[in-house]
Structure 1
């Protein structure tokens, strides 16, 4: 004779075996069912609590990252003590999207000059050149700060290279110190690019471009050059070159030994640059701080790359603009 069994609705069925049933006539079966329901509720509460803790920590992590980005450690104040030589570094290609951009370099120079303990400023240069606009901004800011703080000298110390746009900025200094093997000069302007018209003709590719202005397709690499385009481009190059020459003459004054080649785009060793008046002497950062400024303690004011910039570059946040920058680079003016 079989027992009268009632299934428990709160107990899930187990795969491959009969679910446990509670006999309806078993003593205290209601209590057992309630205990199981209560236990399931407790387990659900524990799981919900674990998820709440997880999301709280996740939110806290995001909050810390946002705060880190907002505070921007690149702009943190430099702790200084007493009289010192201030150091600002100009490293690499001078461009608005590199560490050697005018905004950061000028901000570092301003902070260095503004510090009451600064006895002199050293601009350490290792640059092949770059944007004439960015180099010109740095040049003018150096001259402005020198006029505002006449008692604080600014010296450029060249490591490996100070050429073209790098020299454009350096020419504004009180004096320029080099190593005998440094590369100095290259006072000229170039506009470079590629032309693909011959290859396109061989492959049977036709360029179809429509413009609403006669010269809107100027310097397009997929269209042939014209005498008018070449003449206009050369006029621009000559104009910027004249600006460069004028800046060097103003900065170097009578120290410059002008010759036929000095503004031709040639570059020289540091030793030869001293003979030509492009530089004033030999020495590194420590030498200038110790022997020239007479303040051997060196404090670095260079704007450091922020965490947001590092993360953006690491994960390729700017990849979407890659094609635009690549096209913009064609025909771009450079001091190098």
Structure 2
């Protein structure tokens, strides 16, 4: 009778089946994003994270595939995961797919364990800022750049003016502070597991296999195999997905009610976001 009742229950309720909630954090990390290029941020991931930790499960599994992006959003996502892990007393297992680099690796630090594929890319513990300069182009096409500010530093690093040494030094000072925060997080989370390789915090990145030697990851493997080894062959993986709200459904009905300039601006923003995202991924040969 008991066996019959057990079969009638949903799989996640059966006593001999362990269900592990899975979150997929895939993409570049930045505040905002657009409908053309959705991005990872606390705003887009908080609901998924909280839903996963609401499960009565021994662990939460997180799949990461990100080349990085905003250090602020990366740290906010990391902190939300760690806060809930402590609050719910859950173990966090992070699985790296193609890449967990820069901000992607910062989020991976939220795992009690980091498991990577031997060919995954991990690391890139550094800070980068990039832009373009166009002052000579303006001269060639006969355009004069006019900037008026209240505050002598309001036009720092203006791409249409010649680069100034003081501006670059200021930027590098900010980068060093952010880099130190990142390094402190790595040391705190990885501790004695880290090797003493002098290149560890220089922004270099490595395969998952080398990352294991350096102490950046704990083991090699894939999610399904590892979870079934840990929690039994009948372990079930439950992918946590965001509910589609009313506003998102209304927005998908088409372009009705939107004017052409708004649509053009959105498309332009999407192209710029796509170019920035492509540049991030291409750094790792992806």
Instruction: Please point out which of 32, 45, 62 is paired with 1:123.
Output: 62
| Partners of 2:124 and 2:204 within 8 A in 1 | yes
Superposition pairs of residues 146-185 of structure 1, within 5 angstroms = 146-150=85-89, 152-185=90-123
Query: Relative to 1, partners in 2 of residues 1:212 and 1:324: Cα closer, same or farther, differing over 3 Å?
Result: farther
- 2-side partners of 1:170 and 1:154: how far apart? 10
- 2-side partners of 1:203 and 1:196: how far apart? 11
- 1-side partners of 2:58 and 2:249: how far apart? 33
- 1-side partners of 2:252 and 2:28: how far apart? 17
1:131-165 Cα distance to aligned partner (Å, 9 max, x none): 11110001111221222233x21110011111111
Superposition pairs of residues 158-307 of structure 1, within 5 angstroms = 158-294=96-232, 296-303=235-242
1:116-138 Cα distance to aligned partner (Å, 9 max, x none): 2x121110001111111110001
| Partners of 1:128 and 1:162 within 8 A in 2 | yes
- Structure index of larger Rg: 1
Query: Relative to 1, partners in 2 of residues 1:249 and 1:310: Cα closer, same or farther, differing over 3 Å?
Result: farther
Aligned-pair RMSD on alpha carbons? 3.0
Query: Relative to 1, partners in 2 of residues 1:140 and 1:258: Cα closer, same or farther, differing over 3 Å?
Result: farther
Q: Which runs of 5+ in 1 are unaligned?
A: 1-78
SS at match of 2:13: coil
- 1-side partners of 2:76 and 2:61: how far apart? 18
Q: 1:296 Cα deviation (Å)? A: 1.6
**299-308 or 200-209, which deviates more:** 299-308
Q: Which runs of 5+ in 2 are unaligned?
A: 1-10
Q: 1:288 Cα deviation (Å)? A: 2.3
Q: Taking structure 1 as the reference length, what is the TM-score of the superposition?
A: 0.68
- 1-side partners of 2:177 and 2:252: how far apart? 35
| Partners of 2:157 and 2:164 within 8 A in 1 | no
Correspondence for 2:82? 143
Query: Relative to 1, partners in 2 of residues 1:245 and 1:180: Cα closer, same or farther, differing over 3 Å?
Result: same
Instruction: Count how many residue pairs are aligned between Structure 1 and Structure 2.
Output: 254
| Partners of 2:78 and 2:106 within 8 A in 1 | yes
Q: 1:304 Cα deviation (Å)? A: 5.5
1:111 equivalent to 2:51? Answer yes
Query: Relative to 1, partners in 2 of residues 1:104 and 1:274: Cα closer, same or farther, differing over 3 Å?
Result: same
| Partners of 1:157 and 1:285 within 8 A in 2 | yes
**91-100 or 191-200, which deviates more:** 91-100
Correspondence for 2:7? none
| Partners of 2:134 and 2:159 within 8 A in 1 | yes
SS at match of 1:124: strand
SS at match of 1:202: helix
SS at match of 1:191: coil
Correspondence for 2:8? none
